[in-house]
Amino acid sequence: MSVVPPSLSGMNLRGAVDLSTLVNRPPAPAAGAPPVPGAPPAPGVPGTPAAGPVAVPSLVLEGTDANFGEILELSMSVPVIVDLWAEWCEPCKQLTPILEKLVLEYAGQFVLAKVDVDSNPQLTQAFQAQSIPTVAAVIGGQPVQLFSGALPEGQVREVLHRVFELAAQHGVTAIAAAPEASGDAEAEAPASGEPELPPLHQEAYDAIDRGDYDAAIALYKTALARDPRDQMAVAGLAQVSLLARLHGKTMAEIRSAAAAAPDDLLTQLAVADLDLSGGHIEDAFDRLLALFPAQEPAGRNLIRERILEMFEVIGQDDPRVPPTRSRLTALLY
């Protein structure tokens, strides 16, 4: 069965796939990433778009165990879509042509890396490809699991749209320039028939891109005031609130403050934010749930609200949400 992220909140750089064994050295941090040594970028960290197009031999590359370090480096500037396939796979023969068509149509907004699972066992294992086709993205050197199975073109376009949104938030916005790319490499992608983002959402994304988190928070709150059922605004508000809390802080500062004041709720909440941003989801939840019983009602409510917000950051469809929700409910009642 195909699995498609139902919303942008389901697509974050959260370290679910380990690519570290495929390179001799870790990739450089994404432009604009917070000064957290050794940690991957937090979800939605904005950056500075790369200057000018990035030259590539082709918009469709062959990804192998041997050359994937170079593709990771490319992903620091241009989003890379990874298509894990095999010659014998019939659904792959339906999906791969769609991806090859779209990579040309979008004229360098992303690069397609095709990985033959039969020839590249390390990549197959690293991307946790339990069935094929499996499609993932790599943005700023960090993986994002997308879907498995053959999807129709319309749904693939929807997934790509979300990938571009996430890449823009991380400053991965260069254009790949290749011989087969038609037209101006820096021209906007042709219209795909998808509706544009609502104005408030677009303004919020623009604010995040320039690092104005307070403005983005205000815009998402306005969107929710107009429509409390706007789930994309709920997720966006959770993500940008995390960014605002972490902005300007370092890993050392956060962890040393928490070590010096183990009973201080605010410092422990900051460590949970740090864990979440680094992909240590279970650690973040465990820390907050362990703090819960000793708190006064106000502190318990703050922890409850923070955990619910974290659900939105990682995506309500994340498998770690239901067990954490059950543990929280048991503590509440």
Euclidean distance between CA atoms 316 and 333, whole angstroms = 22
Euclidean distance between CA atoms 308 and 321, whole angstroms = 9
Angle at 273 between CA 276 and CA 296, to 5 degrees: 125
Euclidean distance between CA atoms 131 and 117, whole angstroms = 10
Task: State the Rg of the chain over Cα.
Answer: 20
| Half-sphere exposure (Cβ direction) of 98: Cα atoms closer than 13 Å | 20
SS3 content of the chain, % helix, strand, coil (to 5): 50, 10, 40
Catalytic residue among 89, 107, 217, 235: 89
Locate 270 and state its tokens: 């900051």
CA dihedral 134, 137, 143, 146 (to 10 degrees): -50
Among 129, 146, 136, smallest CA distance to 80 is for 136
Catalytic residue among 13, 36, 92, 271: 92
Q: Is 32 left (phi over 0), alpha (psi -120 to 50) or beta?
A: left
60: phi then psi, degrees, rounded to nearest 5: -115, 115
Locate 151 and state its tokens: 């999807």
Active site (annotated) includes residue 92: yes
Q: Which residue has the tokens 């973040």?
A: 284
Contact predicate 313/13, CB 8 Å: no
Contact predicate 192/162, CB 8 Å: no
Active site (annotated) includes residue 89: yes
Euclidean distance between CA atoms 45 and 80, whole angstroms = 18
Q: Which residues are catalytic?
A: 89, 92
